[in-house]
Chains A and B, each alone.
Chain A
């Protein structure tokens, strides 16, 4: 039985408003991932399959989707087949699920595929659908969706620590600048501070570019035991640590300090402890910038700076190339888009390429340790840590 697991292949589709069906997106990501191993892996080698996806029942009126994806890709798993749904964190939770299946011996070679087809012909329907990720009975039935939820938190952080709209905008500028080197990103045009600050107001204090767009997309990885990893690639990327914590589902039950996220601190500590590293050992990270404020709070919760100091951390360039930790080199959710079930898997794919020195113009020099983080609401967080040494 394996104690460690490794990622041995990865692929990401173009994210955006795609002229492609849910099934098309599964095909694109799955096929690209399988073929990236150039024959080292055949369809019969995959004994486990995990589909990370959030709301196909609503957006494409299709359930039973793990089996649909398997048949679409010609995969016939005989040890594990399961769908994972954990709202925005589905992708990183799916990797934890793969980890537990592999270390328990339940499965050995597992494909994790994340997919979401969010865009519908009526934009207002898409937004209503997204409200299903909140507590429908007590919060989203009043018209509440994710932008106002995170706007309330941003406003609280501004009131508490003096964070400004310009500080928030700097997150968008950094990530939109990074995505100029990512052809799979929804947006590749970059952004200036002025452009972010003068984009239209979505929900105060957020402007359009403080918010991740509604995107379609898919991503896939192959995960296996450390014993099998070298059968597929000379450069496996190992999962060193993982952590998850859920403190609260509703916004009403967040701690009184809305902008301090104890579940993130817990998930981060669990992952750091398991990996045997400190926060400052992380070279690059894909964190969950669903809204600009969420990236700032990730710096604080993951221990890269103290509470209330995230705006200065960013302004001093410490979360960018040449700084302490390069955050969101692929462009984050803000610029790549956020096809819910695909997001975490795409983050893992980026860390896979970065740690293998295959990230091209986005490459973080000498990257040894990478981290992925999703929130699935402010009260619940998932963190995975990766390295090239097992």
Chain B
């Protein structure tokens, strides 16, 4: 991909590297198979998504904490049509419970017959094959059904 092409192309994946994003530790952990978020050092609120400002007390004193890499399905949908460009279906989306937070994810390597409310899921990180400029490996927090 040339720089010029990149400028004319939509990039639906966020910049994840240290030079672009203060939340880069999330992505570095995700590349190691860990799911993390921020916890407030003043009031102990664990927030999802991670942030620099505590949504409960507005403290700026945050620490990174690990979330479990397993969860359970609260609600799910199987998308059969109407995909953003670059995607083909079916796509399985779910709202899942992961430790203290709710989390929206896409299920990969999953048979639709195994999808049901309450089913157990586990982190299955997706590596994005379209690099941003400057080239950086990017990852997304997708999940799969636990066997």
With beta carbons under 8 angstroms apart, the residue of B84, B95, B141 that contacts A152 is B95
User: B13 and A252: CB pair below 8 A?
Assistant: no
| Partner among B13, B84, B93 whose Cβ is within 8 Å of the Cβ of A124 | B84
Interface window among A137-145, A186-194, A323-331: A137-145
Complex contact B93–A201 (CB within 8 A):
no
Q: Is the CB of B14 within 8 A of A137?
A: yes
Q: Find residues 189-227 in chain A having any chain B CB closer than 8 Å to their own CB.
A: 200-206, 208, 211
Given contact pairs A145-B82, A202-B79, A125 touches B104 in the complex (Cβ within 8 A): no
In the complex, A148 has a CB within 8 A of chain B? yes
B3-37 contact mask (Cβ, 8 Å, vs A): 1 or 0: 00000001011100000000000000000000000
Are B106's CB and A252's CB within 8 A?
Answer: no
Interface size on B, residues (CB 8 A): 35
Nearest CB on A from B72, distance (A): 13
State whether the Cβ of A82 lies closer than 8 Å to any Cβ in chain B.
Answer: no
Cross-chain contact B75 with A141 (CB below 8 angstroms): no
On whether the beta carbons of B14 and A141 are closer than 8 Å, the reply is yes
Residue of A nearest to B117 (CB): A159
**Which of B78, B95, B106 lies in contact with A143, CB distance below 8 A?**
B106
- Chain B: CB-nearest residue to A259: B75
B80: nearest residue on chain A (CB-CB)?
A: A201
Which residues from chain A contact B126 at a C-beta distance below 8 Å? 142
The answer on a CB contact under 8 Å between A140 and B12 is yes
**By the criterion CB–CB under 8 Å, are A138 and B77 in contact?**
no
Q: Point out the residue from B79, B86, B91, B102 that lies within 8 Å of A254, measured CB to CB.
A: B102
Report chain A residues within 8 Å CB of B101.
252
Pick from B13, B49, B94 the residue with the most CB of A within 10 Å. Answer: B49
Say if the beta carbon of B58 comes within 8 Å of chain A: no
Distance in angstroms from B93 CB to nearest chain A CB is 4
The answer to whether B95 touches A258, judged by C-beta atoms less than 8 angstroms apart, is yes
* Residue contact A152 to B75, C-beta cutoff 8 Å: yes
**A148 / chain B contacts, CB cutoff of 8 Å:** 77, 79, 91, 93
The answer, yes or no, to whether A136 is at the interface (CB within 8 Å) is: yes
Binding site for B on A (CB under 8 A): 58, 122, 124-125, 127-129, 131, 135-145, 147-148, 151-153, 155-156, 159, 200-206, 208, 211, 250-254, 256, 258
**Can you name 22 A-B pairs with beta carbons within 8 Å?**
A124-B83, A124-B86, A131-B12, A137-B14, A138-B49, A141-B12, A141-B14, A142-B126, A142-B142, A143-B83, A147-B82, A148-B77, A148-B79, A152-B94, A200-B80, A201-B81, A202-B79, A202-B80, A203-B78, A204-B80, A252-B49, A252-B102
